[in-house]
Chain A
Amino acid sequence: MTYNPEIPLSTESPSTSASPVQVNFDQFAAIFSQLALGVFYNHMPFNSSSQGKHASVIFQNQTLDPGVTEDLGVLYSKNAISAASTEPQLFAQIPKFLPTQTDTTDAPNIPMQLTYNSVNTAGPVYYSFLPGGYIFYFGLVTATNLVPHTITLTPAPTQILIAIANPNTVETGSQHRPLKISTNITAANTFDVYASFSPLPQYDFSWMAVAIA
């Protein structure tokens, strides 16, 4: 059964038209009540208190950006290339509003990638994502006296933009100052952490890195 916007035909009698008219009504009712394993998809069914509202929204992957010239915002799915893979991601596009009095940049309203296809909440290399196609990695390390301590980011990103480490250990001595610490990005997915004090005892540091996915 397929919806037909061009019925009933003028050449048909009412009795003949009844069936295709029912098909059309039925197709709309069916599309507004897609239910699987207790989950409604796309829209809530007719004749319910929530009729017409959205349920779980399925985005059909797009190949083109919609473009926005009206007073509206758009969410959609499109493939995004990362170092790990090419996957559909959620994008947003908003109306162009720049330049303004405070920000004189004449930036176009290019689409903004909102998601990445995985996160790690188990560690030791935790990561999540930031809008713009960035991965935000972070962790906590107990290091030995090995200098430097190398952090390897997984999944490997395209490029590490910043690597920040903060010592959770103070130097020995009367002042108990935090260790001096520095980072050095060595590859697309690695950076080294250096700490002051020699010889180094076991020490802790927190770290974070932002990378282009």
Chain B
Amino acid sequence: MGNPINYDPNTPTRQLSFADWQVQFIQNFTQLDTAFAKNHVPLTDPTVANRGNHTYVEMAESTTDAQTSANEFSIFVKDVENQTDQVFFTYPGNTPVVQFTNYQIYSVKATDQQTTFFTFLPGKLLVYFGRFGPFNATGNNILKLNPPVAKNIVSMNFCHQGITPKYTPAGVEETIVTQTPSFEFIFTKPGIIKEIYVIPTIPSTNNTMYYCVVANI
């Protein structure tokens, strides 16, 4: 007889009596039922139409990218360096492979000068957004990027908040002093970009802006 707790794909055998292989049938049917009930509505569910549907889809960590044929799309989980398992896609024919989830989303505590929200976009992109201000009249307007994992900033959008527009949206340094300049933004590379120095040329304390920064992580 096979192991009483394991599924045995090689049963029954001709040499066994019915009394013996009857036990093995029960083992296998029980194991099939137990295994299938993981992640699925079991075959014994009273609602026939739901049988076989998925409850959760738990994807065990893969060590390599999932392979796909021409008409297949794969979703799988792989470990990301310095993080944990993330969800990936493989498109038909093994390419491209796209990282879908990028980071653990969590709440970032607001400060007196900044609210921060963040989310991710497929392809190892993080989107930081929120409200920043009022501007410090003497400088030191530092926009924090939390979580501090940005490696490259690919887009920044800022907009003055309020009913009296004072800034153009351009994040460039003005060279003509007589024209009202807007913002200058400075961040340091290489390495992790944890903050952006915002230098508004109208640093009056009642000025606030909305921001949206997209970064590679």
A contact set with B: CB distance below 8 Å:
2-10, 12-14, 17, 21, 24, 27-28, 31-32, 34, 41-43, 50, 53, 57-60, 62, 66, 70-76, 92, 94-98, 100-103, 105, 107-110, 112, 114, 130-132, 134, 148, 161-167, 175, 177-185, 192, 194-196, 208, 210
Contact = CB atoms under 8 A, between A and B. Distances in A.
Nearest to B41: A60
Nearest to B76: A73
A59 B52 contact: no
A201 to B, nearest CB: 15
Interface residues of B, number: 78
B86 to A, nearest CB: 6
Given A72-B59, A131-B120, A92 B101 contact: yes
B101 A208 contact: no
Given A73-B77, A73-B85, A132-B119, A24 B169 contact: no
B42 to A, nearest CB: 8
Given A17-B22, A98-B104, A134-B119, A164 B56 contact: no
B50 A8 contact: no
B173 interface: no
A109 B168 contact: no
B51 interface: yes
14 contacts: A2-B44, A5-B32, A28-B36, A73-B61, A73-B85, A74-B56, A76-B54, A95-B84, A102-B149, A110-B105, A166-B169, A180-B166, A180-B167, A180-B180
B30 interface: yes
* Residue of A4, A9, A103, A107 contacting most chain B CB atoms (<10 Å): A103
B95 interface: no
Contacts of B163: 148, 182, 184, 192, 194
B43 A27 contact: yes
B210 A164 contact: yes
Contact of B29 (A7, A34, A178): A7
* Residue of A31, A101, A208 contacting most chain B CB atoms (<10 Å): A31
Contacts of A105: 106, 146-147
B61 to A, nearest CB: 4
Given A8-B22, A105-B147, A181 B33 contact: no
B22 A196 contact: no
Nearest to A186: B163
A166 B86 CA distance: 34
Nearest to B75: A75
What are the 9 tightest A-B residue pairs by CB atom distance, in nearest-first order? A97-B84, A107-B106, A3-B43, A182-B165, A31-B52, A73-B77, A5-B33, A182-B160, A180-B165
B57 A183 contact: no
A164 B84 contact: no
B58 interface: yes
Contacts of B166: 180, 182
Contacts of B75: 75
Interface in B151-198: 157-170, 176, 179-180, 192
A73 B104 contact: no
